[in-house]
Homo-oligomer: A and B are copies of this chain.
Amino acid sequence: MTLSPNELAVMFLSLGILLFTAKLFGEIAKKYGQPSVLGEILAGIILGPTVLGFFAPSVTDFLFPAEGLRKVVMDSIATISIVLFLLVAGMEADIGTIRKQGRQVFSIGVSGIAAPFIMGFAAAYFFPGLLGMEAGGEVLFFALFIATALAISALPVIAKTLMDLNYYKSELGMLIVASAIFNDIVGWMMFAAVLSLAGKGDVSHMPIYATIALTLLFTLFMITVMRRLIHKILPWVQAHFSWPEGILAFSLALTMVGAAATEMIGIHAIFGAFLVGLALGDTHHFREKTRTIIEQFVSSFFAPLFFASIGLNVNFITNFDFTVTALFLVIGTIGKVAGCSAAARFSGQGKRESFAIGFAMNARGAMEIILGLVALNFGLISEKVFVALVVLAIVTSVISGPAIKMLLKLKKSFNFRDYLEPKAFVLINNPVDKYRAIEMLCAPLSTVTGIRYDTIRAAVMDRESIMPTGLKNGVAIPHARLRDLKKPVIAAGITSHGIDFGSTDGHPAHCVFLILTPTEDNMAQLEILSGIARTFKEQEFDSKTVRPNNFTEFISMIKSNGSA
């Protein structure tokens, strides 16, 4: 048995289309401030039976067949993808962060799990039909699963939301992240326990208590013995193997073995991968570079493939049940927000802050979807419940950002790139002095802002006369504040002839940013200046640098220059 050349060809084609569409929609979601997983799932829904399959079933059947060898291969790729995604999730969940924040994290975490769990369990146990259980299901397992599903929080979405709001490194931000990590770890363990109780994935047909005992033992083993073992072994691997390939291969091989172990116990492969990630992420010997390579490859290849593949298997329209979805949303949100904010308020947080913690923890993101999919594959829930869980995941993730923003009165963080004006991108072809260069940049900004050229020019020259504005590495940042300006605006000039802007390292400028900010907006100027400095911190912009020919190439260049 093997894939024919024809099947192989179509497999590569479908992988390419799936990956491309997933990433495209993921990026569009991001553009609108939404988590990229939302777009990735949407891509799958569009390519799958819900949309494309409705309008052109033959195309869907051709690309993503629901039967046969290619289906098996695609499913296996999706499973490997999700295992690697959970490895990354585990790496990100730093146990140390919880330890540092101590008691508050514990109370928010426990209460944030207990409240939705109890509410969810009660609702599902007493009204299983209303919450989507099919006739003939085991009420106890169904209720336990629904309770767990509603109790979950998703660290990656929460962390990303806080980063977007520039709130990640604040004290409250760290508290939320630590609580999310706590919730994440406990949530996964609870789910593993439910699965082992239900005994659905039971490979060796061992008794239920053995599965539960093994699950607990394995978890304990991984976060104690294995964690310390990895801490000891990693330096040895790094010292004797090539770097970073050796350590990467070691981590990935360990992940596969961990996945195999939990799959054999009778719970899902993802738990083993998550635990390996936890253990790996905990030691400082696991360097930043290694982490980055795994994270970025997973989030650009495996994660989009996995999330998009979800939509390929389920019809999201025919399986949409309003009652079930609405109940999940109401019970889940009330339980989670009330549980978390009560605990936060109790431990001394302000009212607004407490609610912000609640809404942040309410985001369920990718975790909820993965949990739902595993339960679906194990036959614990129906497609109807799965679709409701996906909607719950998406809605809670989407509202968390705006809710926190409103409650804490935050402004979205911005990047100086957002204020670069495409119409004020100037290629300076002749050798000019700095005054002439400034004038060349003032002109287009006058057109863009509607402020008179002379006003702009005078303000910038005044500022320039006080102190030269040449930064290091061939960049200059003449700037001024203007009263009539609505929002910051930046012009950029590129020249292969150096312009003397009196920089600190004595190098002439080859890239000149002219920055105008509103007088009253103090922060804007600071953030823009430091953003530019950060971007060119490590990379000299000089006559040897490949010159961008247009605005898009310029943005592409500064974006890929650094972390900015």
Contacts and interface: CB of A to CB of B under 8 A. Distances in A.
Contacts of A259: 12, 16
B27 A242 contact: yes
A6 B269 CA distance: 11
A255 B16 CA distance: 7
A13 interface: yes
Contacts of A71: 1-2
Contacts of A327: none
Given A27-B241, A285-B553, A3 B69 contact: no
A264 interface: yes
Contacts of A79: 3, 8
Interface stretch (A245-253, A328-336, A468-476, A497-505): A245-253
A239 interface: yes
A223 interface: no
B552 A72 contact: no
Contacts of A10: 260
Nearest to A292: B293
A17 to B, nearest CB: 8
A140 interface: no
Contacts of A15: 80, 253, 256
Given A3-B72, A13-B260, A242-B30, A249 B297 contact: no
A435 interface: no
B76 A289 contact: no
Contacts of A560: 238, 243-244, 247, 287, 289-290
A519 interface: no
B16 A253 contact: yes
A450 interface: no
Contacts of A529: none
Contacts of A30: 242
A106 interface: no
A556 B3 CA distance: 43
A419 interface: no
Given A201-B5, A253-B23, A300 B248 contact: yes
A257 interface: yes
Q: How many copies does the complex hold?
A: 2
Interface string A184-220: 0000000000000000011100000000000000000
Contact size range, A: 35 or more
Contact of A13 (B235, B247, B248, B257): B257
A67 interface: yes
Contacts of A263: 5, 8-9, 12
A3 B236 contact: no
A218 to B, nearest CB: 13
A546 B19 contact: no
A281 B166 CA distance: 36
Given A23-B241, A243-B559, A6 B249 contact: no
Contacts of A493: none
Closest 7 CB pairs of A and B: A16-B256, A235-B556, A9-B263, A248-B300, A238-B556, A13-B260, A23-B249
24 contacts: A6-B203, A6-B264, A8-B263, A12-B259, A15-B80, A16-B253, A16-B255, A17-B253, A22-B249, A23-B241, A23-B246, A36-B242, A73-B76, A77-B77, A238-B555, A238-B556, A239-B555, A245-B299, A245-B300, A246-B300, A248-B297, A252-B300, A284-B546, A289-B560
Interface of A: 1-3, 5-6, 8-13, 15-17, 19-20, 22-23, 27, 30, 36, 67-69, 71-73, 75-77, 79-80, 83, 201-203, 234-250, 252-257, 259-260, 263-264, 266, 269, 284-285, 287, 289-290, 292-294, 296-297, 299-301, 304, 546, 548, 552-553, 555-557, 559-560
